[in-house]
Amino acid sequence: MFYLERLPCPVVVTNCNGHVLHTNRDFRQLVAPENCDYLDSYFPPASRIFLHSYAWPMLLKNGEFSELYLQLLTTNGQLLPVMTNARISQTESEQVVIWVFFVAKERQRFEAELLKARQHAQETALQLTEVNAELQYANAQLSEYAQEARIKADKFAHLSLTDPLTNLGNRRALTRNVKQWMLTANSQSVSSLLLIDIDFFKQINDRFGHAEGDNVLRNVAQRLLDSARAQDSVIRHGGEEFALWLPNSDLEGATRAAKRVHQHISRIQVAGESITVSIGVSSMALNGHEAGILLEHLLAQADIAVYEAKAHGRNRTICFADQSQPSCVGSDKGEGKALAESAHSLPGIHRLNGRF
């Protein structure tokens, strides 16, 4: 007992029920000057719970435990951090538990810091996870917007290149196709253009209404597509005027195409009468022109030719040929019965000499 009394650390001896049998001098000085009945009284609630849910079962199972961190409650209300060892020993009369406490103020301080750092790291990790989730959400939204924007852009691009009534390309689309063709063409490459004007279209509109007029336009568009090759471009040039552009085709090829167009169009009937068209043909070598210039020339020449075709009684094809080009070969005339009274078949495809 002498040595227990003078051990340089607080010591308590209890029975196996936690009833206090002895305390030593250090314990009385540091914790409580008077003995309590039960060990529990020396601990604050949190340590009491830990003692009973953890320390006592371990003690009863293994006969001892070591290095448990607990807090003692001093008589002046202070919490004293301690590392605790305890062991059950058999004395002559009964089993006792010896509890030894090592005051761990310093240790508690830096361990508290460590825990704070851990908590901070945990919070940071959590924040990072949250930020990451937000970023992912924003990213997903951005992709969605981009997708929408792409769809809209495609739609606008389509609209900007398309005539909404016939779904054919427009002048812009034709320019684009010519430009694409020029990427692979050389300066000798020839292309031709058919300018196709529906005869007496105004009368169709006047007599049968605009709905029927639109119907005719759609039918003509379809027939033109039927007469075109895969590489050709059919566009609605405006009003009742269409253009068929034939890359790598000379005047001869274009003339054949014009014949096909006349045949196809003649199958369209309004009130039992066939539709006819007047066609102006032009043909040009590339000769270093830009796409826009080439098209302008082709259209201007074809326009003159159409005008001639109209002037010569409609339902026919006239080829524009300048001095440098050979004369138009072959001849053609529109087929079928013309719609208007004044329409009458005139023979042949005619060569138009001239310049603009």
Partner 1 sequence: MGIIQRNNVKQLPHANPDAPITIYAHGFGCNQDMWHLLTPEFAATHRQILFDYVGSGRSDARAFDALRYSSLAGYAQDLIEVCDALCLSKDVIFVGHSVSCSIGILASIQRPDLFSQMVLVGPSPCFLNDPPAYSGGFERADLEGLLALMDQNYIGWAEYFAPVVTGSQADSPITAQLAGSFCSTDPVMARQFAQATFFSDIRQELGRCTTPSLILQHRRDTLVPLPVGEYLNTHLKHSVLQVLDVTGHCAHMSHPDQVASAIRHYLSGSDSCVLP
The catalytic residues are 240
Within 34-53, the residues that bind partner 1 by CB under 8 A are 38, 40, 44-53
4, 115, 146, 157: which one binds partner 1 (CB under 8 A): 115
Beta bridge partners of 238: 241
Closer of 14 and 249 to partner 1 (Cβ): 14
9, 30, 36, 58: which one binds partner 1 (CB under 8 A): 58
Q: Does 135 bind partner 1 (CB under 8 A)?
A: no
Q: Does 67 bind partner 1 (CB under 8 A)?
A: yes
Distances (CA, A) of 296 to 112, 175, 198, 303, 356: 86, 10, 21, 10, 12
Closer of 122 and 147 to partner 1 (Cβ): 122
Asked if residues 199 and 277 have their Cβ atoms less than 8 Å apart, the reply is yes
Q: Does 29 bind partner 1 (CB under 8 A)?
A: no
Q: Does 131 bind partner 1 (CB under 8 A)?
A: no
* Antiparallel, parallel or unpaired: β 350-353 and 79-90: unpaired
The SS3 call for residue 11 is strand
Closer of 62 and 180 to partner 1 (Cβ): 62
Closer of 72 and 284 to partner 1 (Cβ): 72
Rounded CA-CA distance 186/318 in Å is 27
DSSP assignments along 341-354, one per residue: TT-----S-EEEE-
Q: Does 121 bind partner 1 (CB under 8 A)?
A: yes
Q: By the criterion CB under 8 A, which residues form the site for partner 1?
A: 16-19, 38, 40, 44-54, 56-58, 60-62, 67-71, 108, 111-112, 114-115, 118, 121-122, 125, 129
